[in-house]
Amino acid sequence: MPMDTCEICGAELSFAHDHRPDNTGLDDGPPLRTPRKKMQPKPADETRAIRAQAWATRRERYGQKRKPQTEPTLDGLIAWLETQDPKSKYDYWDVDRCAIGQYLTSIGTSHAEQDRKDCRLILYWNSKIAASKTAAGETFGAALKRARRLHKWTP
């Protein structure tokens, strides 16, 4: 592809230049990068729909004021454990994947949020229900048995 040549210096023109030291940028060489392509703005209706969906998802997860939709209870934990596959295992040492952590996530809260309120309940559940003496005991079925046993002793 033939290139134009500058009339003054005879260089091939791949960028505009004017041979003046006036800091206009014309003699600084070719641009270091091509200008970034800007996205076309979305129509107002599409933007409104995206925002509405995002807020609906947020309200579904956190409730209206980002509080747990239900408070954690032993009855709720037992009901949740009954819905889990009894042979499925959980990771007691991972806060988000342990049995109690998964239950708290399902009701719209977390270990951290409960620890700010009252960590004694969660710590008690962890020690009596989620923890087992063997790695083979870290199944939802075994945790359900321990939770039911604890429920008999709780007034």
What residue type is 69 in one-letter code? Q
**Statement: residue 67 has pLDDT above 70:** no
**pLDDT tens for each residue of 98-136:** 888 888 888 877 776 766 666 667 777 777 787 776 655
> Which residue has better confidence, 44 or 67?
44
Q: Which helix (H) or strand (E) holds 32?
A: none
Q: For the chain, where are the alpha helices, taking DSSP H only?
A: 44-62, 74-82, 99-106, 111-125, 140-153
Range among 10-19, 116-125, 138-147 rated most confident: 138-147
Question: Which of 94, 101, 97, 110 has the alpha carbon at shortest distance from 61?
Answer: 110
Between 4-8, 64-68, 126-130, 140-144, the lowest mean confidence (pLDDT) is in 64-68
Query: Measured between alpha carbons, how far is 120 from 124 in angstroms, rounded to an integer?
Result: 6
Task: Report whether 30 contacts 15 (CB < 8 A).
Answer: yes
Higher per-residue confidence, 18 vs 154: 18
What is the per-residue pLDDT for 45?
93
**Hey, where are the domains in the chain?**
1-33, 41-68, 74-153
Q: DSSP state, 56? A: H
Residue among 143, 51, 45, 47 at smallest CA distance from 90: 143
Query: Cβ neighbours of residue 40 under 8 Å, at least 6 residues apart?
Result: none
Give the per-residue pLDDT at 50: 92
Please say if the pLDDT value at position 146 is more than 90: no
Q: Could you read off the pLDDT of 16-66 as tens digits, one per residue?
A: 666 665 656 565 555 556 777 888 889 999 999 999 999 888 877 776 665
Beta bridge partners of 5: 12
In this predicted structure, the answer to whether residue 86 has a pLDDT above a threshold of 80 is yes
Tell me if residue 89 falls in helix, strand or coil: strand
